[in-house]
Structure 1
Amino acid sequence: MSILDNLTSKFRVDAIEEPSTEESIEQLKSFSPVEVPDDYIDIIRTGTDVEINAQVEDEDGEYEMYLRIWGADASPENSEGHNLDKYIPNSLMIGDNEGGMAIIYGTGKEGLGIYLTGFGDLDISDAIYIASSLKDLLTKNVGIENLEG
C-alpha cells in the first residue's frame, strides 16, 4: 500500500501521471547526492507529477494549496536546471508548491528533511523546514502548518 493510499483528511490527490520506471528510479539514485528517501520512491512508483491538494490553516483561516511531487526524470532535470548543487549542496529537488517554491530534500537548520524554498532564492538558510519525511507530512500532518511558506 502506498503512502498516497494513507493520506490524512487534510490532503487529497487531484491529479497523477504514470509512475516512474524502475530504470529511471535507479538513474535518480545514481544522480542524487543524498540517499533518495524511501517515501519519495514509494510515491513515484505509484505516480508522477502527483498534485496533492492541501488544506492549510493560517491566521486568516483555512485555504487550499497544492504540492506537486515530481517523478524520477523531472527531479534531476530540475535540480540541474536550477543549479541546486551550487546553492544547496547535498540536496535534491523533489517537487514544488505550484506557487514559486521548490520542495527540497536535504540538510538545513533542522537537519535532514523536507524543506520549502523559493526558486529565486535557493538558500538553505532561508528555507522553511516542513517535516523529516513526506510520510510524516502526508500521513500524520507533521509540518502542515509550515506549508504556507
Structure 2
Amino acid sequence: MSILDNLTSKFRVDAIGEPSTEESIAQLKLFSPIEVPNDYIDIIRKGTDVEINAQVEDEEGEYEMYLRIWGANVSIENSEGYNLEKYIPSSIIIGDNEGGMVIIYGTGKEGLGIYLTGYGDLDISDAIYIALSLGDLLTRNVGIENLQG
C-alpha cells in the first residue's frame, strides 16, 4: 500500500500524473548524490506531479496550501538546473509548495530530512526543516506546522 493511500485527514491528493518509469527512477538513483528515499520512490511509482492539498494552521487560523511532488525526471532536471550540488551538496529537489519554495531531501541543520527553501535562496542554513521523511509528514502530520515557510 502506498503512502498516498494512508494520508492523514490533513492531506488529500487533488491531482496526480503518470507514474515515473522504472528506467527514470534508476536514472535518478544514479544521478543523486544521496540515497533516494524509499517513501519518495513509493510516491513517484504511483504518480508524478502529485498535488497534495494540506490543511495547515498558523496564528491566524487554518488555511489550505499545496505541495507538489515531482517525478524522477523533473527532480533530475531541477536539481541540475538550479545547480543544487553547488549550493546544497548531498541533496535532491523532490517538489515544491506551488508558492515559490522547493522541497529538498538532504542534510541541513536538523540532519538528513525534508526541507523547504526558496528558489532564489538555495542555502541549507536558511532552509526550514519539515520532517525526517515524506512518510512522517503525510501519514503522521510530523512537521505539518513547518509547511508555511
Normalized against structure 2, the TM-score is what? 1.00
- Give structure 1 regions of 4+ aligned residues with deviation exceeding 6 angstroms: none
- SS at 2:115's partner residue? strand
Specify every segment of 5 or more residues in structure 2 that has no aligned partner in the other structure, as ranges.
Answer: none
Once the 2 structures are TM-superposed, how far is the Cα of residue 36 of structure 1 from its aligned partner? 0.1
Percent identity over the alignment?
Answer: 86
**Offset of residue 133 of structure 1:** 0.1
Cα displacement (A) at 1:13: 0.2
Q: Which amino acid aligns with 1:53?
A: N
- Counterpart for residue 36 of structure 1: 36
Structure 1 vs Structure 2 CA RMSD: 0.3
2:54 & 2:121 partners in 1: Cα distance?
23
For the residue of structure 1 that corresponds to 2:106, the secondary structure is strand
Amino acid at match of 1:97: N
| Number of aligned residues | 149
Aligned match of 1:125: 125
1:12 counterpart = 2:12: yes
Matches for 1:81-120 after TM superposition, within 5 Å: 81-120=81-120
**SS of the residue aligned with 1:24?**
helix
Map of 1:77 onto structure 2 = 77
Aligned match of 2:140 = 140
The structural deviation recorded for 1:128 is 0.1
Residue 46 of structure 1 is matched in structure 2 by 46
Structure 2 CA distance for aligned equivalents of residues 112 and 15 of structure 1: 28
Q: 1:55 matched to which residue of 2?
A: 55
- Tell me the TM-score normalised to structure 1 length: 1.00
Distance 2:78 2:116 in 1: 15
- In the alignment, the residues of structure 2 paired with residue 60 and residue 33 of structure 1 have an alpha-carbon distance, to the nearest angstrom, of 40
Task: Determine the C-alpha separation between the residues in 2 that align with 1:34 and 1:92.
Answer: 8
